[in-house]
Amino acid sequence: MNRGEAIVLIGFMGSGKSSIGRHLAQRTKLPRYDTDEMISARFGLKIAEIFVRFGEEEFRAAETDALGQIPARPTIVVTGGGIVLRPENVEILRQLGIIVNLAADKETLYERVSRRATRPLLQTENPRATLSEMLRLREPLYREAADFAIDTSVLRHEEVSDAILKQVQELRSRTRGSYDG
Ligand code: S3P
């Protein structure tokens, strides 16, 4: 399969996808596509409200639709934490470009997601246990989908962006034949 020229960020809620995506877009001057923002704009609602009014399945379908609208050009793609749940989404992401798994340890993720109550799937009686269980189920999916991973737990945004750009460049030069084909 021909891989596109996007840099795609995947990873659990709180792994830093949105902030790093903004940072990378600023650094590279590439346009940024954030699936949560695209869906929110389409519905004219916040993500939490979409879950309440339409349910998770409708949201997941909207995620796949949003991915289909991202142009096959050099871009920065930011995804929601559940994007890897649908294998067809992972296929689309692979076609768009190089997939980076932003990881972080459980405590860091919990601390980051606790700052805001914007994540409908964590509004449970025991959000720590929910996070733990979701992470256990999803970690293998992130690992399998990604070309490489960066642990964001202790790094500053600049450091994460630097590491991503360096690895993307290395990967592209190693596989130049198949990308430029
Ligand atoms: C979700 C993650 C959220 C958002 C929605 C569902 C998930 O995005 O898409 O609340 O299933 O992990 P972030 O990863 O940006 O928080």
Output the CA–CA distances (angstroms, integers) from residue 105 to 13, 59, 71, 154, 156, in the order listed.
12, 27, 33, 10, 15
Report the predicted TM-score, pTM, of the whole model to 2 decimal places.
0.96
pLDDT digits (tens, 9 = 90+) for 103-148: 999 999 999 999 988 899 999 999 999 999 999 999 999 999 999 9
% pLDDT > 90, the chain: 92
Residue among 37, 34, 82, 33 at smallest CA distance from 61? 82
Distance 82 CA to ligand 1 centre (A): 6
Q: What is the mean pLDDT of residues 57-64?
A: 98
* 85 Cβ closer than 6 Å to some ligand 1 atom: no
The CB of 13 under 6 Å from ligand 1? The reply is: yes
Ligand 1, atom 10, residue with closest C-alpha = 119
**CB–CB of 142/12 below 8 Å?**
yes
Is 160 within 8 Å of 101 (Cβ atoms)?
A: no
